[in-house]
Amino acid sequence: MSYFLGNFPATRLRRTRSAPWIRRLTAESSLTVDDLILPIFVRDPDTPHEIRNFPGVFRYTINELPAVLEHAAKLGIQAVALFPYTPENLRSDDAQEALNPENLLCRAIRQVKYHVPHMGIIADIALDLYTTHAHDGLVLNGSIDNDETVALLCRQSLNVAEAGATVIAPSDMMDGRIGAIRRILDTHSFHDRLILSYAAKYDSNFYGPYREAVGTGTRLKSNNPKELTDKKTYQLSTSNSEEALREGAQDIIEGADILMVKPALPYLDIIQRYTQEYPAVPVFGFQVTGEYALFKSYPDYEQGENMLIESLLSMKRAGARAMLTYGAIDVAERLKNGGI
């Protein structure tokens, strides 16, 4: 800092911490319900409501969705992100179910539109929920084929856009997909749809409970040859941040409206760098399943929730404009009751 910050005793930094009113007035960041996006797992009636190894988060049928949505809307939550559990018999090597206008995701989108028309609807674009091998892309000749995958992601994006998704959120980490998706949306008059790019999506161990929730974890391990049992050939390596900046820059140029960093807490530095390097571009953080589980498995429930809330505020401090969190409803309740 080039300016003079002041020395003790003329400067006593505790003065602005001395009472709630002044702490609030001088707060540099805050957490409100406008920062929260609720991810929801969607199921067919044959898939269990409970998720193994992930207590406190559930899958909902199309008919169970309205109650959750209305609760979220009443609390002031502005958007949901939908993740379907595709039934066993509908998964295939070529992920054709992703293109079915009647698939679980499209039906869920229409349900949200019908019950809470003002709610933002974020649709995940990737093939993992539709492929037998659970990769985000098509496996051709023993590796994930970038360009064939992008072609399919474009058609998947159109499918969810037609169902009414307001935000197209590619989470697959293929090269060039943002530009390709933007072009196909534009040629079909979907210029109004946002693209939320999972620009910095790390190859992370924090996705464990998610893969359980959508049925991809064991598939990845058991339905692939040894060299394909992880997503390292497309997701970012934990060791890299310059590469994340490059991904973000490319996605902005290709037409992304918002960048996402995922997971969020272990990658706060990336949230901060994005907001510093590209201050005009909104950045979201995804507090992923593994992060949520860490806090929720803490023996003292309230303490665990406080820890979760603290970590959300740290994402705001780093520069995130909003966060996806499985705790959105609980946190919104706390905010409403003045508990934060």
Catalytic residues: 201, 262
Instruction: Tell whether residue 316 is a contact of ligand PBG (CB under 6 A).
Output: no
Distance (Å) of CA 106 to CA 83, 164, 168, 316: 11, 8, 13, 31
Question: Which pairs from 17-23 meet CB under 8 Å and 24+ separation?
Answer: none
Q: Which of 111, 223, 289, 325 binds ligand PBG (CB under 6 A)?
A: 289
Instruction: Tell whether residue 219 is a contact of ligand PBG (CB under 6 A).
Output: no
247-273 burial, b for 16+ CB within 10 Å, e for fewer?
bbbbbbebbbbbbbbbbbbbbbebbbb
**Backbone angles phi and psi of 145, in degrees to 5:** -85, 115
Q: Is the dihedral of CA 135, 226, 232, 139 positive or negative?
A: negative
Instruction: Tell whether residue 106 is a contact of ligand PBG (CB under 6 A).
Output: no
Instruction: Tell whether residue 288 is a contact of ligand PBG (CB under 6 A).
Output: yes
Instruction: Tell whether residue 128 is a contact of ligand PBG (CB under 6 A).
Output: yes
Instruction: Tell whether residue 207 is a contact of ligand PBG (CB under 6 A).
Output: yes
- What's the closest the beta carbon of residue 172 comes to ligand PBG, in angstroms? 6
Q: Which of 43, 193, 231, 316 binds ligand PBG (CB under 6 A)?
A: 231
Q: Which CB sits closer to ligand PBG, 190 or 326?
A: 326
Encoding tokens for residue 98?
A: 């992703």
Vertex 4, ends 1 and 269: CA angle to 5°? 25
Instruction: Tell whether residue 197 is a contact of ligand PBG (CB under 6 A).
Output: no
Q: Which of 91, 211, 296, 316 binds ligand PBG (CB under 6 A)?
A: 211
Instruction: Tell whether residue 131 is a contact of ligand PBG (CB under 6 A).
Output: no
Picking from 150, 146, 158, 149, the residue whose alpha carbon sits closest to that of residue 99 is 158
Instruction: Tell whether residue 126 is a contact of ligand PBG (CB under 6 A).
Output: yes
Residues of this chain that interact with ligand PBG (CB under 6 A) are 124, 126, 128, 136, 171-172, 207, 210-211, 216, 231, 288-289
